[in-house]
Structure 1
Amino acid sequence: MSLYEILGTLETGFIFGIVALGAFLTFRILDFPDLTVEGSFPLGAAVAATLMVSAGWNPWIATICAGLAGFVAGFMTALLNVRFRILHILAGILIAISLYSINLRIMSGPNKPLLMVDSVFTYLEIFGIPGYIINPIFLGILIILIKLGLDAFLATGYGISMRAAGSNPAMAEANGVNVGNMKLFGVGFANALTAFAGALFAQIFGAADAYMGIGVIIVGLASVIVGMSIMPSGTIFLATIACIVGAILYRLAVALALNADFIGFQASDVQLVTALLVIIALILQQSGNVRSMFRKGNKR
């Protein structure tokens, strides 16, 4: 791989690292399998692109609004689960399917090009550094700030209550924690991160597309699983680092697999490569757990 390809992979890895942090919040913290991200990722792209192209909004404000739209989508998923007792997986699927039609309406079509429109990355040109270098640096700094913000939030009283709600709902309720409200906010916040990432993804690749959310849930899960399989994740600080590292390694693995001619993969096989990586990570993770249990048994 060339330097340009490596930097491009880092660029994409940092964006999906934000998605991974959202997946960590729902799957690991809240124990809420959320499939809304398949719709909230393109929702963020659609909202940002439409506001920038059709309304002429500042790209920073448009990107923040995209995150808010994602929060609403996640909130609605949690609402179906908490208030109407619809299974969390089914609730996520229903909202994701609905968002496909909503995204088409927002963009007035299947896609929205961002040609000749200023993006958040346009402002980086003042540094006089080529985009393929400055963009990954900017995204790296951005995801570190998001990671630290998430760590700080989960260390607050509200964040600890959210962790308790996901870890042991019955015990949390017995201690006065409103588990339903924790799900409403937590799933909404996770999808806000996903939609924010979708808005950045659209701006860096020059278009928003209604189909760009396909497989995003697998990418987020792959990043979390891969990162936590190879790195210590005993604390929130280490776990969020593992998610980001997992996203970068995932993108590097996909890029290497698609560029390895002897394997025979093509660009259209990216979803197959993703599934295989997740399967391998899960197998390795289970193998590690089995070996750990075996060692403990021998010590006894």
Structure 2
Amino acid sequence: MIPFTALFGSVEQGIIYAIMALGVYLTFRVLDFPDLTVDGSFVTGAATAAMMIAFGYHPILATLTAVVAGFIAGCMTGLLHTKGNINPLLSGILMMIALYSINLRIMGLTSEDAIVRPSIPLLNEETIFSQFQSFWSNLGIDDALTSFVKDTLGFETAPQTWGTILVVLVITITIKMIADWFLKTEVGLAIRATGDNKRMIRSFSANTDSLIVLGLGLSNALVAFSGALIAQYSKFSDVNMGIGMIVIGLASVIIGEAIFGTKTIFRTTLAIVMGAIIYRIIYALALQVDWLDTGDMKLITAIIVILALVVPQIINKQREKKRKEKRRLERLAEQRLGMQGGNDLA
């Protein structure tokens, strides 16, 4: 059984990664754009926030700057595609490769010689979470919640800090609500229409190029925001921390949609948030298996995505098979009733 502290940490991380998953949803589902910039812009957000915090800037200002950096990276991908006429997949790959060097340079600004640097530690720095946690602890709520988990729920261990999960919940729910509102605005509807049918929206004199650039910018802004929060949560920024982020984002989207459905925008975005949390819990459970370790993270991620893609298809095929069998039996019953009616008339 997974320890409560590990489960708690998985939920915390899942809520933060949900912001990144919302960004992936904007490109892959709304815009129908296979954007691989995510692996680079996630690190851009983490590197920008870590660099500014290391220089003594306020964590909130550092996080907002990271969002702007991610927005610019996404817009560049959009411009490569729309103005440079480069294939969507290739434009994302090119930007992801370029961001690797850019991220090294950003983190290198913290050194005296401004050379490339692969990581920035934030162990002794103030972050959004540490500042909020101090306020939360002073109220005495940490001790009360810890005692409740141990004494009432019967867990042997419990986390000593609870402020982090509250602040990430507030941030993620706020972003989810803003995304719901934005996708229902005139611009949001135009972006959704661009992903569904580009020719149709062009017939209404809409500038699809600008909409694609804006959509990619907003998507990568959310991804960079998530990266900035993860850097402050983990207390470090590393140039390789973004590898596989696009797969994690897709896994969250697919799992959430498969379990909770996509009937409305509100339900879809909620499904993505829940999918990110479920993904982290599944990952934590997988690491409890004796013959798996942290080095198997990518393998576990791949298996989760494969199952999330294949299992719903199998379930849908079984449902369709049952529907066909039901219709066949209904037709047979109708035919028998018709034959009985004919015999009665005879």
Bigger mean CA offset, 290-299 vs 156-165: 290-299
SS in 1 for 2:162: helix
Structure 1 equivalent of residue 135 of structure 2: 126
Distance in 2, matches of 1:285 and 1:179, equals 33
Q: Does 1:152 align with 2:181?
A: yes
Find the aligned partners of 1:38 and 1:89 in 2 and give their Cα distance: 13
Larger radius of gyration: 2
**Cα 1:132/1:4, change in 2 over 3 Å:** farther
Residues 116 and 72 of structure 1, relative CA distance in 2, 3 Å threshold: same
Alignment partners' CA distance in 2, 1:276 and 1:135: 30
Alpha-carbon distance in 1 for matches of 2:208, 2:161? 44
SS in 2 for 1:118: coil
Structure 1 match to 2:266: 237
Q: Partner letter of residue 119 of structure 1?
A: T
How far did 1:241 drift?
Answer: 0.5
Determine whether 1:4 maps to 2:33. Answer: no
**CA deviation map 1:240-281 (0-9, x unaligned):** 0110110000000000001122xx111110111000000011
Amino acid paired to 1:59: P
My pick for the range that moved more, 121-130 or 169-178, is 121-130
Gaps of 5+ in 2: 109-116, 143-159, 329-346
1:246 paired residue among 244, 259, 275: 275
SS in 1 for 2:33: coil
The equivalent residue for 1:59 is 59
TM superposition shift of 1:296: 5.3
Q: Are residue 113 (structure 1) and residue 121 (structure 2) matched? A: yes
Structure 1 stretches of 4+ with a deviation exceeding 2 A read 129-132, 288-300
Give the match for residue 242 of structure 2.
Answer: 213
CA shift digits 1:81-116 (9 cap, x unpaired): 111111111111110111110111111100011122
Query: Does structure 2 conserve the Cα–Cα contact (< 8 Å) formed by 1:7 and 1:133?
Result: no
- What secondary structure does 2:53 align onto? helix
> Structure 1: how far apart are the matches of 2:10 and 2:237?
19
The answer to whether the 8 Å contact 1:7/1:132 transfers is no
Range with bigger deviation, 199-208 or 120-129: 120-129
User: Which residue of 198, 213, 222 corresponds with 2:251?
Assistant: 222
- Paired residues of 1:4 and 1:132 also in contact (CA < 8 A): no
Q: Distance in 1 between matches of 2:320 and 2:33?
A: 27
- State the Cα deviation string for residues 134-171 of structure 1 (Å, max 9, x = none): 21121112111100000000011111111111111111
Using the TM superposition, give the Cα deviation of residue 33 of structure 1 relative to its aligned residue in structure 2, in angstroms: 0.6
Q: For the aligned residues, what is the CA RMSD?
A: 1.3
Match of 1:286 in 2: 313
What percent of counterpart residues are identical?
43
Q: Which residue of 2 aligns with 1:73?
A: 73
The normalised TM-score by structure 1 is: 0.96
CA distance in 1, matches of 2:323, 2:197: 26
Match of 2:196 among 147, 167, 172: 167
Q: Report the counterpart of residue 46 of structure 1 in structure 2.
A: 47
Structure 1 residues 268 and 168 mapped into 2: Cα distance closer, same or farther (>3 Å)?
A: same
In the aligned structure 2, how far is the partner of 1:163 from the partner of 1:293?
29
Which residue is equivalent to 1:33?
A: 34
Asked whether the equivalents of residues 154 and 160 of structure 1 are also in contact (C-alpha less than 8 Å), the reply is yes
SS at match of 1:208: strand
How far, CA to CA, are the matches of 2:218 and 2:323 in structure 1? 39
Query: What are the ranges of 5 or more consecutive residues in structure 1 without an aligned counterpart?
Result: none
